[in-house]
Amino acid sequence: MKRHSSLALMVVLALGIFTDANANITVPWEHITGYNSSPPYGWTYSYDIGYYDSNLMIDVDIKFTGDTPPQEIVNIWETGIESIWSTNRFSVPILFNVDWVTNNYDYLVTIINGNGDYTDWSMLSWCTEGAAGWGEAYQEEVVAHEFGHMVSLWDEYAGGAVNPGTLLINTGGLMNTLSGPTLDHSYYPFLDWYDVNVAPLLTPAPGALILGSIGISIVNWLRRRKTI
């Protein structure tokens, strides 16, 4: 019985090694850039994506120009972007990060201190008050919506920068209305990157699969022996 217990322990440890090996995998940052065109709108998107500590991570660096925003508002914007977009709803956690920088930026955003009207709000122009006419309670949502464009996402409301390939509107999600949640399809570009660049590294080699199968069979056999 002692030999059997030792063998079972070895199998469990072997399986654990494969799990631990996956946990140590890192895929360094890759810079992603492209151009979205939805006449009369068009914009260049830019962000970094990588895989660290078992998380899929997306990072955007933003530099402010124009007015200097109050730090309290900057904190609200950062919290809003990162908390609204980050999610655990998929098989891999997806974390979004925004950094306020002075050089090497992805975007140069003009800040207007005050309550600008909705025409003053865009991906590259933010106001510190009013939240594009939605009111102060939506400060987080309005910047999260604009951040969505920065990571390549389209508007989903009539008259906006709608995806010309799908013409998707009225989804009820954040890219349609500030009162909506983020929707699964908004994460597909990042999950596609994960499938190409990370998932193949997490797939055990054929030998590992065979060992795992043998190990499970041995453990089950030992359990049956114990009950006889």
213 in the same domain as 150: no
**Which residues are CB-contacts of 8 (< 8 A; sequence separation ≥ 6)?**
218, 219, 222
13 in the same domain as 90: no
**pLDDT class of 5 with cuts at 50, 70, 90:** very low
* pLDDT digits 0-9 by tens, 30-72: 999 999 999 999 999 999 999 999 999 999 999 999 999 999 9
10 in the same domain as 87: no
How large is the angle between the packed helices 71-85 and 139-150, nearest 10 degrees?
60
193 in the same domain as 218: no
**Rounded Cα gap, residues 178 and 155, in angstroms:** 11
CB atoms within 10 A of CB 24: 8
**Rounded Cα gap, residues 123 and 10, in angstroms:** 56
214 in the same domain as 141: no
Q: What are phi and psi of 203, to 5 degrees?
A: -80, 120
142 in the same domain as 217: no
- Which of 5-19, 160-174, 176-190, 199-213 is least confident? 5-19
56 in the same domain as 7: no
Residue 9 sits in which domain range? 2-22+203-227
111 in the same domain as 128: yes
220 in the same domain as 129: no
Question: What's the whole-model pTM score?
Answer: 0.81
The domain total for the chain is 2
- Strands (E) located in the chain: 27-38, 41-52, 55-66, 94-100, 107-115, 125-129
162 in the same domain as 52: yes
* pLDDT digits 0-9 by tens, 77-123: 999 999 999 999 999 999 999 999 999 999 999 999 998 766 678 99
